[in-house]
Chains A and B, each alone.
Chain A
């Protein structure tokens, strides 16, 4: 699905992404965890084709990415919703610029809002919604474009614990139903373990660990012993590197 080799990126003189290599197979997922400022958002921008790498190559389905790709869905760190557009218009934007006809847009948007359980909010502005509701709008906005790859940048960091778990379950469900490949950036250990089939630990622009998560995909994982074991392992990994 996606293959990244020797990726480098700097803003002005500051190197933010350094020699990153990984791949995600079709229908799989990767969670990237790391402290803030380590370059996670920048990496998402690069993968989305919003920024161009200085060095290295990103290939999706064999094609080199140097611009946005129609079938890549992106959920940006602060939802990326436009405060001047209603929920409906926010979700419809991607369809509108693809020049679909109006009735089709109506149907697709309604459908997406229904799936996210936010149909009744279609006329509201983002400022009128709670964090969780806005998050659902952001997901609807990406999914309505029927992506085969979803990139998420700390999508649930502003949510309370309960809503957060609810949203994580939702992502897992969508992933299973549509065989959707996704990459999620987070600074939350539980989230990485629950949503990452593979987990990469990122620090100062580099991947310093890459672990497999054999327990991925179990909706009840959070209640199990293995979950805590893996969280603990990950936590140790992250704190060890602080001491170095």
Chain B
């Protein structure tokens, strides 16, 4: 029967050739696309595993992958955790090496320019060893300085190599801190979205910035990425046994870690499935058409075979054999062509832009024979089935009504349309209604009046005039509580805070002078300027809120009356009126009796509350011979995490006359 099928194909050379070409073109497209997918897959995997230095397996505190960015201190691994993990690792098969890593944010500064950074603290030795396995070239890891992405260097005005940069951030105990380190080179994060923030530093350096010996995670390199899943399971089981519920083990393709990989592979696989279905449908239709034509041409032969006692199935089998031979020939042609093109592309050294990867990569397509064989076998099986159905139907002559299903091609086409429709439909659901604007009350006081109120309220917080006092800030955070004491001096809206306790932090200073904020500590060459974004976090936010001159930075609008715990208040909406305003808007409550601020809600641009402050006024000061209330307690609560708050206690408030020179940046370091 095979030789008969073969001879039939040979006899109908032209038709066979046309069919072979059509099917081969389809299969060639599938193979090339498969090779491209494999290339993209392995490139993305390499970026995630090697260049992004996630290695193969990662150990976090439970929920670390999701929570580290928001609360690094609480979800980090302390030294006991680290020791436990590093003891467990070498016991497991396929282990190669492991290393601690720390991630963190802050502001980097070079002379006049500053920019937000997203840093990874790494062990240079580990990373050098890891990079040796990478198919993508990467610059050597930093040993005694910082690597910044070109984009970040651009934001900083291209500081000279080996010049000192200042990193500024909030320590794990939520204190301000800054360090200096030289710029030693550049690198790429491999991810466009964060490419303008990328900073890489030796682990120890970053640990000193965040004033901690904790790390964010331990990364583990294996001898082959295919063992990642197994290794993860074994390690998770072992860690769970030793410290139940404490650790979370992930692999490089975890959505939070290999985000780039998972999102793009999801997308690519879908595109591939769709393309595959389309090509397959075309190939199948071609084959079915050919079979139908062959059957029609050979009705007499079929009748004869039937009269000899050949069953329908057997005769259909002959046509299926012919289609299989055709497909096989097409597959050989397609595979040969695909390998030739791949080799040619490799020889020509073609480069391509990979999705979301900053620089072009050499187009090294790979098509493992097994994959090609599987793809062809799948296509062949589908085509054979389609040919069989067609042949059986045609050879049968009589078509029995009621037994005709939907043709396979129609089914496949429908499935293809569905697949195509999914990504087109889904974004439509993601739309949310725009936030409602608050409507201003009708009988509002005029702006002049409101500004006077604001100024009066600022006055009671030291916003205007010259004073000094002692300030204690108690900060509560799930990671721990801290107490810090400061000496404060203010003069006409400028404030200087000097840390007095704990001893370790003595000599640290924060200067808030009109629109700028500066931080200085012994050991730094010069003060660090704190950008508006940076004022949103940690201690800086407290200083920012405490020292804000609402009357100057915000424009008021009246929202009516409000009742706060039995106190009747004016409710104002303050909208940012200057660049130095940290918040987009503030809802401000003034006690109607004395026009003192009792509550302020700080909102983001999208109207989400960020912080809420409560004020109490138990202090008294003499101003212009008049005894006036002055702020005694301020509670600043994180609106999204109420368990995180700071208590500011004002003591020994007294009018003073600090010299102007105290509030200049130039003298900040010499104090």
B is bound to A: no
Q: Residues on A close to B: CB < 8 A?
A: none
B interface list, Cβ under 8 A from A: none
